Structure 1
Amino acid sequence: MAGAVLFSEMTPSPDWEGEFNEWYDNEHIPLRMTVPGFTGAQRYKRNDRDYLAVYDMTGTDVLQTPAYVEIKDNPTAMTARMLGSVGGFTRYIGTEIGFQSNVALDDAIPAPVLYSVLFSVPGDRLGDFDAWYDQDHLPALLENPDWLACRRFSLEVAHPQPFNRLALHYLATDEALDSPAREKARATPGRARLAAEPWFQADYKVFYLHGERFSAR
């Protein structure tokens, strides 16, 4: 599986949501799947019109290659119109720093629920934060078999918020978010210690699978 991700959200107007989805599925993602280093992509949706795409890559340097720059810097008329009209745009790019799971990643990727967590952690607290997440938080969450997997990323590009950590949790059902395992994970002394610090504020979102997975050509 890829060693990096591009996590991007967009919200189209209801007046052209159908056109947006047609463009995303038939132009925007397929073009990127032709770029060497892109290995796959999956779309998700939350609320009424908030869409997410998670692109898997071999590394963040893929976004500096001539093949990708050519596509990004020379958008089609449809791409220029769509990107200039959507709201809620986010762009987070990061390198994978951790993976824990109850199943193989290829089995987790098609999960119906994606729970994303974004943090902005001070540099001098990254060591403690990462140790807590990997050694305390995730083992407790994974006691629930419906908590299929978690991939963690160190962010190198963050827009519009200056987050530097992203966790993508793959769930068999959103009921896992109300499970005893999650209650346990949120009640440990390690979490309480970090939660007392003023920076410990996360962006949490629940997305649902939208469409089939795209693979590199």
Structure 2
Amino acid sequence: MPKYTYIVLTNPVEGKEDEFNDWYTNTHLRDALDVPGFVSAQRFELAGAQRAERPYPWRYLAIYELETDDLQKSVDALAERYNTPAMAISEALHPERLGLLFEAMTPRLEARA
């Protein structure tokens, strides 16, 4: 079955970081995993050491893995649930965000022992 990676870059609304992190970690990730095709979800926070100089537009990253024979069906299911009781969206989520889907081009490589 084809595998895809969905990356989402986000920020909280100013002054609502705790609310944002609680909602994203404890509610939104689980809601996303209820969408057909979504098989895993993990959040990340921007690390202190970076190769590029500031500014960094986003502080948070979520990575979702999908396995589906019909990617468009999964994308449509996500869109249908967005901001409904099945996937409530917190007001602490800043409206400017970026979400992109990727399909692997190569097998996953690991460091040599």
Structure-2-length-normalised TM-score: 0.70
**Which protein is richer in helix relative to its size?**
1
- What per-residue deviation string (whole Å, max 9, x for no partner) do you get for residues 11-53 of structure 1? 1145211110110012211111112211001111105770100
Structure number with the bigger relative contact order (C-alpha 8 A, sep ≥ 6) is 2
CA RMSD of aligned residues (A): 2.9
- CA distance in 2 between counterparts of 1:78 and 1:16 reads 16
Whether the 8 Å contact between 1:5 and 1:95 is mirrored in structure 2 is yes
Match of 1:70 among 77, 80, 87: 80
Match of 1:50 among 47, 59, 74: 59
Shift of 1:7: 0.3
1:12-91 equivalences under 5 Å are 12-13=12-13, 15-47=15-47, 50-59=59-68, 60-61=71-72, 62-65=74-77, 68-72=78-82, 74=84, 79=89, 81-83=91-93, 85-87=94-96, 89-91=97-99
Whether the 8 Å contact between 2:16 and 2:92 is mirrored in structure 1 is no
Shift of 1:75: 6.0
Aligned length: 101
Whether the 8 Å contact between 1:8 and 1:52 is mirrored in structure 2 is yes
- CA distance in 2 between counterparts of 1:77 and 1:32 reads 8
1:75-114 equivalences under 5 Å are 79=89, 81-83=91-93, 85-87=94-96, 89-102=97-110
Structure-1-length-normalised TM-score: 0.40
- CA distance in 1 between counterparts of 2:29 and 2:79 reads 15
Whether the 8 Å contact between 2:8 and 2:98 is mirrored in structure 1 is yes
Shift of 1:98: 1.5
List structure 1 runs of 4+ shifted beyond 3 angstroms.
75-78
Listed as ranges, the gaps of 5+ residues in structure 2 are: 49-57
Match of 1:198 in 2: none
- What per-residue deviation string (whole Å, max 9, x for no partner) do you get for residues 117-163 of structure 1? xxxxxxxxxxxxxxxxxxxxxxxxx45x5xxxxxxxxxxxxxxxxxx
